[in-house]
């Protein structure tokens, strides 16, 4: 880890450690916000870029941006990173964090970063969910938290000036019950060559059937399967699943 990365992680830790944020997180627990280790995320981005599975300068969308850590480290890795977050307080924190990082010269000048308020699931997704037309709803272990089940206003894609199909890649640090809706979002709205990086606990076997119905397939890079960290005696880290749309045969 070089000096720049040390400064980056120290600043990220400092901005996420204040009392006001801890109080806020207790109030927004039902949003599904869970902090994610920025060191692990940056290592993952560098690894995937080195393997050619992410393209330098590609556009990434963080689904549920929280305090902006993923947006920040994706930008450091050379990706144009945007994030959507449902809680306005966290959006404010993320924007302030990004501004501070830029003022400290820790983000590359050539990449863009935005964190906007809203729900990354489009309004029409909730309509399909209510009508029973959602495949994911049949595989949720329990109902989504209340703030995920309805569209809470805002127009995040309008604010970003982009549709989901504008992005090359997506990232989500998902709770177990969130995985089905994230996968269906990707299946419905991402373009054919996009990739979804989802950090989540081991997928239940029954999700294999759901993924077939959604036309998705996944891989786990051995470097990012979480087991290496256990072998080294550290706390196990979540595996990062790499979802893509199943190629369709030429007709």
Q: The pTM is what?
A: 0.89
Using a pLDDT cut of 70, give the percent of the chain over it.
80
* pLDDT tens track for 151-178: 566 799 999 999 999 999 999 988 777 8
Q: Is the dihedral of CA 199, 205, 211, 212 positive or negative?
A: positive
Question: Which of 3.40.50.720, 3.30.530.20, 1.10.3720.10, 3.40.50.150 would CATH assign to domain 3-245?
Answer: 3.40.50.150
pLDDT in tens, 16-49: 766 465 555 555 554 444 556 788 899 999 999 9
User: Quick check: 241 and 200 in contact, CB under 8 A?
Assistant: yes
Query: CA 237, CA 230: separation in Å to the nearest integer?
Result: 8
């Amino acid at each position: 880890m070089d000096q720049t990365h040390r400064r980056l992680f120290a600043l990220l830790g400092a901005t996420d450690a204040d009392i006001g944020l801890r109080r806020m997180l207790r109030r927004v627990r039902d949003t599904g916000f869970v902090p994610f280790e920025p060191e692990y995320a940056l290592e993952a981005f560098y690894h995937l870029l080195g393997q050619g599975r992410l393209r330098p300068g590609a556009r990434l969308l963080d689904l549920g941006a929280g305090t902006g850590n993923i947006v920040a480290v994706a930008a450091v890795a050379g990706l144009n990173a945007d994030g959507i977050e449902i809680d306005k307080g966290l959006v404010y924190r993320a924007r302030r964090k990004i501004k501070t990082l830029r003022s400290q010269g820790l983000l590359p000048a050539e990449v863009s970063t935005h964190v906007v308020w809203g729900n990354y699931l489009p309004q029409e997704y909730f309509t399909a969910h209510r009508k029973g037309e959602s495949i994911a709803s049949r595989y949720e272990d329990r109902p989504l938290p209340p703030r995920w089940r309805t569209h809470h206003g805002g127009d995040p894609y309008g604010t970003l000036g982009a549709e989901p199909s504008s992005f090359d890649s997506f990232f989500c640090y998902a709770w177990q019950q969130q995985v089905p809706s994230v996968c269906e979002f990707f299946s419905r709205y991402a373009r054919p060559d996009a990739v979804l990086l989802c950090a989540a606990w081991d997928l239940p076997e029954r999700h294999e059937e759901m993924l077939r119905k959604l036309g998705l397939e996944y891989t786990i890079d051995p470097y990012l399967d979480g087991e290496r960290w256990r072998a080294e005696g550290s706390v196990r880290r979540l595996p990062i699943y790499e979802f893509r749309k199943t190629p369709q045969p030429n007709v």
